[in-house]
Amino acid sequence: MSIEKSVNIGSLEYELLIKGHALEKTSVAIGFTDSSGKIMYANEAFLKMWKFESIDNVIGHSPQDFFVNQELIKEKLKASMDNNVVVYEAEAMRNDGTTFLVNVTASSLKSENGEFIGHFASMADVTERKLKEERMIHAGRLTSLAEMAGGLSHEMNQPLTGIRTVAQGVLIGLERGWDYEIDEIKEKFKMIIEQSDRMSSIITHMREFAGLDKVLEKEEVNIVSIIDDVFKFIGQQLRKHDINITKKYDTDLPQINIYRTQIQQVFVNLIANARDSLDEKGVVCANDGKEFDKNIIITVTKDHIDEVENIIIKIKDNGLGIPQENIDKIFDPFFTTKPSDKASGLGLSISYGIIRDHFGSLIFDATENEGASFIINLPIGK
């Protein structure tokens, strides 16, 4: 009996030793709070990440003391008590005042009888990863802008032509001594201002999309407004390709917290892919002497996924679909079936990464020669 007891005690001590060693030596920052919300433990990785020399600089503080947006941390700690596990990104502040981005997984700690006894959080520094992703995203945006250049020039030419026509008409009238009424002159100037505003709006959207006026903060927006902005870029281009667009939106869609230009880019990438697939099928049908109507259907709804309310965006086309041998590769970086001078192979990979970073999912349903549907699930309130 004494030997068996000794082995059991040894096993318990060994288990505790291993767990303690794992907590201290992992590269992930880990912290625990007590029931009052004060930090009672932080591992070596936490001290290193926040550049503290001693645990005494951390113990007894509130978690929000180490982040830029303290209200956000308070909100997420409360949410972890209600939902058990919460995953989010936040800007942290080191002891020397510099900032960095962390991915946080927070949960509540409860006793055997269900009583709340504190919080647990693990934190990973994702600053470098986000910078690399931003570079890829920016490169993808520039590629998309290059592809859209023809459509954008047409969008700009229309208001410019309108301005020139109005101004030229007034100038000719003045040269010929026409007697303009004041109201008529006012109407001409109003037309010029309207067309100038239209060009200004196009340029603003171009700058935002290219990241020249980049906003790093998330915004509460209606997802439909993002889709409508995208069609200001590519609507004319799609019309030139004889593509019919059908939009089906729920009427009571809630606001969603997103990075506007990133989600814009996802829509541009997915719609551009649908356009190319439709064009390719159009060529095949023309060669076979068959008629073919090119269609893209965009639906936006809301629903619950795993008890979390989501905005669901579906982009469906009736193009060539995806061959079976490519199904497992389409989200791989640099994978493309097009010539290298026609596509970078980054569009779907970047889109997948953007949606993942919004804690959502990007999935697809495709059959060869029958079209494809890409479905974006974006959780509300993340």
* pLDDT score of 11: 58
Reported as a pLDDT band with limits 50, 70 and 90, residue 214 is low
In order of start, what are the domains of the chain with their CATH numbers?
Answer: 2-125 (3.30.450.20), 130-379 (3.30.565.10)
Reported as a pLDDT band with limits 50, 70 and 90, residue 92 is very high
Structure confidence by residue, pLDDT tens digits, 97-121: 999 999 999 888 888 888 888 899 9
Across 328-348, b (16+ Cβ under 10 Å) vs e yields eebeeeeebeeeeeebbbbbb
* pLDDT score of 49: 92
Structure confidence by residue, pLDDT tens digits, 162-194: 788 878 887 888 788 777 788 888 888 888 888
Reported as a pLDDT band with limits 50, 70 and 90, residue 3 is very low
Range with lowest mean pLDDT among 206-215, 245-254, 363-372 = 206-215
User: Where are the strands (E) in 306-346, listed by range?
Assistant: 308-317
- Burial label for 86, CB within 10 Å (0-12, 13-18, 19+), is buried
Range with lowest mean pLDDT among 35-39, 104-108, 332-336 = 332-336
Reported as a pLDDT band with limits 50, 70 and 90, residue 145 is low
Residue 155 has pLDDT above 90, yes or no: no
Which residue(s) pair with 253 in the sheet?
Answer: none
* pLDDT score of 68: 92
- Residue 33 CA to residue 1 CA, distance in Å, equals 40
**Mean pLDDT calculated for residue range 314-322:** 92
**Mean pLDDT calculated for residue range 75-104:** 86
DSSP 3-state percent helix, strand, coil across the chain (nearest 5): 50, 25, 25
- Residue 259 CA to residue 219 CA, distance in Å, equals 6
Residue 8 has pLDDT above 50, yes or no: no
Range with lowest mean pLDDT among 57-61, 165-169, 257-261 = 165-169
pTM above 0.85, yes or no: no
> In 3D, which of 276, 272, 275, 267 has the Cα closest to residue 354?
267
Name the token pair of 235: 């609507």
Reported as a pLDDT band with limits 50, 70 and 90, residue 26 is confident
Name the token pair of 213: 């006026």
Residue 37 has pLDDT above 70, yes or no: yes
Reported as a pLDDT band with limits 50, 70 and 90, residue 376 is very high
Percent of the chain clearing pLDDT 90 (strictly above): 28
Name the token pair of 138: 């920016």
**Mean pLDDT calculated for residue range 231-259:** 88
Reported as a pLDDT band with limits 50, 70 and 90, residue 278 is very high
